[in-house]
Amino acid sequence: MIKPNLVISAPASSRSGYGDHARDLIRSLIAMDKFSIGILDQPWGSCPRNAMPQEFSKMVIPQLTAKPDVWIQVTVPSEFQPVGKYNIGITAGMETTMVSPEWLEGVNRMDLVIVPSEHAKKVFENTKYQGKDPNTQQVTSELVLTTKIEVLFEGLDLSVFNKFSKYPESICSSLDTIPEKNCYLMVGHWLNGEFGHDRKDTGGTLRTFLEAFKNKASKNQPALVIKTSSAGYSVTDRENMLDRIRQIRSSIETSGTVPNVYLLHGDLSSEEMNGLYHHPKIKAMVSFTKGESFGRSLLESGITGKPILASNWSGHLDFLSEHGLLLQGQLQPVHKSAQWEKVIIEGSSWYYVDYGYAMGVIKDVESNYKKHLAKSRKQKQYIKDNFTLDKMTELFTKQVENNVPSFEPKVPKLESLQTYE
Residues 6+ apart with CB under 8 A from 86: 69, 70, 71, 111, 112, 404, 405
Provide block-wise average pLDDT over 10 residues at a time, the chain (421 residues).
94 93 97 97 90 95 95 98 98 95 97 98 97 82 96 96 79 88 94 94 97 86 92 84 93 89 89 93 97 97 96 97 92 97 95 98 96 93 96 98 88 57 50
DSSP 8-state class, residue 311: E
Tally Cβ neighbours within 10 Å of residue 288: 28
Question: Distance (Å, rounded) from C-alpha 18 to C-alpha 80?
Answer: 15
Domain ranges of the chain: 5-155+389-403, 169-386
Residues 6+ apart with CB under 8 A from 364: 372
Question: Could you write out the DSSP letters of every residue in 40-78?
Answer: EE---TT-------GGGGGGB-SS--S--SEEEEES-GG
Q: How far is CA 216 from CA 223, 307, 367, 370, in A?
A: 12, 22, 12, 20
C-alpha 384: how far from its chain's center? Answer: 18
CB 318 within 8 A of CB 153: yes
Options 3.40.50.10420, 3.40.50.2000, 1.10.10.60, 1.10.10.10; which CATH number does 169-386 get?
A: 3.40.50.2000
List beta partners, residue 285.
Answer: 185, 308
Question: Distance (Å, rounded) from C-alpha 290 to C-alpha 97?
Answer: 11
What global pTM score does this model have?
A: 0.92
CATH class of 5-155+389-403: alpha beta
Of 351, 418, 336, 347, nearest in space to 200 by CA? 351
pLDDT at 416: 55
